[in-house]
Structure formats: structure tokens, C-alpha cells
């Protein structure tokens, strides 16, 4: 687990890059940047596509990346074994050295129809297999009902979790309207992200969870232009970066702005 004073930067590579060679170039750039630092105030997680997990895992065990970067997956299946064509299990990921798993990403919720119930089962699979869930929540539109929407999504996503287990979770607030893949995307402002994180915490408290989740992140169109606005907030422990994390110059620029 990263220590609390360090900001956590998660690279969600989504369905990119196309080749392992390009993935290696991104990691080389980051490694070179890490090598130039004295104080290391960041923890990194790289979440490549399943097909690159094993090789990226090997690269992360080398050079400067070794002490600062961990391997993450973008999804998991909710059962540990069975006849489930196309799926990848928790034990498979754990044995590959995966430490973190993204759950409930809005692209899976909205494009692939993953319900809160499915996300909840996947969340339990991550915990059962001793990895850290990065649980994405966020409203699709910020309309008059967004608070109710967020509250219900949080209640259903975390249903049945013990306090101990909630304490192991990282929650990423990612408003769908702010994600760069959305044609109408516009970046969020820190104030509304803080308001939403407040709603998430209040919902968990109201559902009997005294212990809060371990860390709270923001995601949605994070770039070198706005990362400081989010990261300087005490309530925001890090960022989940999509598009900008597969552009090596831009990603290193983002890292250079993390204090």
C-alpha cells in the first residue's frame, strides 16, 4: 500500500497502446524521470491491457520503477474458477503479480452494461484474492438528481462490505461527463469533485461504515494543465489518468507537477 503522504497516480491505459514496444517506451520515459528525482513523493500504478500485463509486470520490477510503481489490471471476473469464456480470474491476476484492479469503470458500466450488482461481485472477488480494488463511481450527468444517483450507486456498489474491507478500497470519483472519451467532455472543477467526494463519504457513513475507504482519487480529463488543481486538495489523494497516460511526454509532465 502506498503511504498516505504520497500522492497516488494511476495510469489507466484502457485499450492502448497497440504494441508492447510502445508500452515499453512509456515506461522507459517514466523510469528516466524517476531516476532524475531525489525525493520520491509519488506512487504509481500502471494498468495495461490484459495482453501486456505479464510483460509490463516484468518491466516494473526493474530500475527506478521497482520501488515506485505497481501493476494493476483493468477488470476481473467475479468467480475464481469455472467455464467462463473470455474472462480472467482473480487467482490468475494475483499470480501474475497484480496488486490493484480497477472495478466499475464507467466505460464498462455504460458501454458494456455492467450493473452495480456485477461491480459489487467483482469488488468482492478482488478483495478475496488479496488485491486492492480501485472502485470507480460517478454520475453520468450532473443534473438535479446527481446526488441521489451517486448515493444509490455507492450504496449498491459497496453493499455487504465489512468495515475492514471498505478500509482496503481506493475510491475513484470519475464523473462520466468529464472523461475525455466522451464527445461532450469538459473537465471537472476541483470544487465539484470535492462536493461529490463528500457525498460518497456521507453515503458510506450513513450505511454504517465508520471506517472510510483508504484513499479517494479524482479521474476525468486529467492533464498537465489541471492536475495541480486536483492534487493540491487535501481530500484528493491522487488521480486516475486515462488518455494522457499513454502519451509519454504528457504523462511525465503530469508527474513532474506532483509535489
153 vs 209, which CB is nearer to ligand 13P?
153
161: region left, alpha or beta (phi > 0 left; psi from -120 to 50 alpha):
beta
105 is catalytic: yes
180 vs 207, which CB is nearer to ligand 13P?
180
82 vs 183, which CB is nearer to ligand 13P?
183
Active-site annotation holder among 4, 174, 195, 235 = 174
What HEC string does 103-154 produce? ECCHHHHHHCCCCHHHHHHHHHHHHHCCCEEEEEECCCCCCCCHHHHHHHHH
Map the footprint of ligand 13P across residues 137-176, applying CB under 6 A.
174
Interatomic CA distance for residues 11 and 55, integer angstroms = 16
90 vs 242, which CB is nearer to ligand 13P?
242
Map the footprint of ligand 13P across residues 180-199, applying CB under 6 A.
180-181
Identified binder of ligand 13P from the candidate list 17, 138, 238, 243, rule CB under 6 A? 243
Which residue do the cell numbers 490493484 mark?
100
Task: Report, in Å, the least distance between residue 205 CB and ligand 13P.
Answer: 26
Task: Report, in Å, the least distance between residue 38 CB and ligand 13P.
Answer: 29
Interatomic CA distance for residues 196 and 51, integer angstroms = 34
Map the footprint of ligand 13P across residues 98-137, applying CB under 6 A.
105
Task: Report, in Å, the least distance between residue 168 CB and ligand 13P.
Answer: 20
Distant-in-sequence contacts of 236-240, Cβ < 8 A, 24+ apart: 236/190, 236/193, 236/194, 236/197, 237/4, 237/7, 237/8, 237/170, 238/7, 238/8, 238/9, 238/10, 238/43, 239/7, 239/8, 239/9, 239/10, 240/10, 240/12, 240/102, 240/134, 240/136, 240/172, 240/174
Q: Does 227 bind ligand 13P (CB under 6 A)?
A: no
Q: Does 34 bind ligand 13P (CB under 6 A)?
A: no
Task: Report, in Å, the least distance between residue 178 CB and ligand 13P.
Answer: 7
Q: Does 179 bind ligand 13P (CB under 6 A)?
A: yes
User: What does the binding site for ligand 13P look like in residue numbers (CB under 6 A)?
Assistant: 12, 105, 174, 179-181, 219-222, 240-244
* Positions marked catalytic: 105, 174
Amino acid at each position: 500500500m502506498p503511504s498516505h503522504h504520497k500522492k497516488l497516480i494511476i495510469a489507466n491505459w484502457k485499450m492502448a497502446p497497440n504494441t508492447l514496444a510502445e508500452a515499453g517506451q512509456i515506461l522507459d520515459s517514466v523510469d528516466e524521470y524517476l531516476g532524475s528525482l531525489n525525493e520520491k513523493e509519488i506512487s504509481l500504478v500502471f494498468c495495461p491491457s490484459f495482453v501486456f500485463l505479464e510483460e509490463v509486470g516484468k518491466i516494473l520490477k526493474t530500475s527506478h520503477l521497482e520501488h515506485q510503481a505497481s501493476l494493476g489490471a483493468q477488470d476481473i471476473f467475479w468467480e475464481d474458477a469455472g467455464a467462463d469464456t473470455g474472462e480472467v480470474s482473480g487467482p490468475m491476476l494475483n499470480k501474475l503479480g497484480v496488486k490493484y484492479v480497477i472495478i466499475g469503470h464507467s466505460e464498462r458500466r455504460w458501454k458494456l452494461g455492467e450493473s452495480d450488482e456485477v461491480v459489487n461481485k467483482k469488488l468482492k472477488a478482488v478483495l478475496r484474492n488479496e488485491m486492492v480494488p480501485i472502485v470507480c463511481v460517478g454520475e453520468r450527468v450532473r443534473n438535479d438528481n446527481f446526488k441521489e444517483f451517486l448515493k444509490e450507486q455507492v450504496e449498491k456498489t459497496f453493499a455487504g462490505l465489512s468495515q475492514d474491507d471498505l478500509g482496503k478500497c481506493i475510491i475513484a470519483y470519475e464523473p462520466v461527463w468529464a472523461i475525455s472519451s466522451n464527445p461532450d467532455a469538459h473537465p471537472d472543477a476541483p470544487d465539484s469533485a470535492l462536493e461529490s467526494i463528500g457525498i460518497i463519504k456521507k453515503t458510506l457513513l450513513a450505511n454504517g461504515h465508520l471506517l472510510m475507504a483508504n484513499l479517494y482519487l479524482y479521474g476525468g480529463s486529467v492533464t498537465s494543465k489541471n492536475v495541480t488543481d486536483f492534487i493540491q486538495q487535501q481530500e484528493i489523494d491522487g488521480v486516475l489518468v486515462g488518455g494522457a497516460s499513454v502519451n509519454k511526454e504528457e504523462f511525465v509532465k503530469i508527474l513532474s507537477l506532483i509535489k
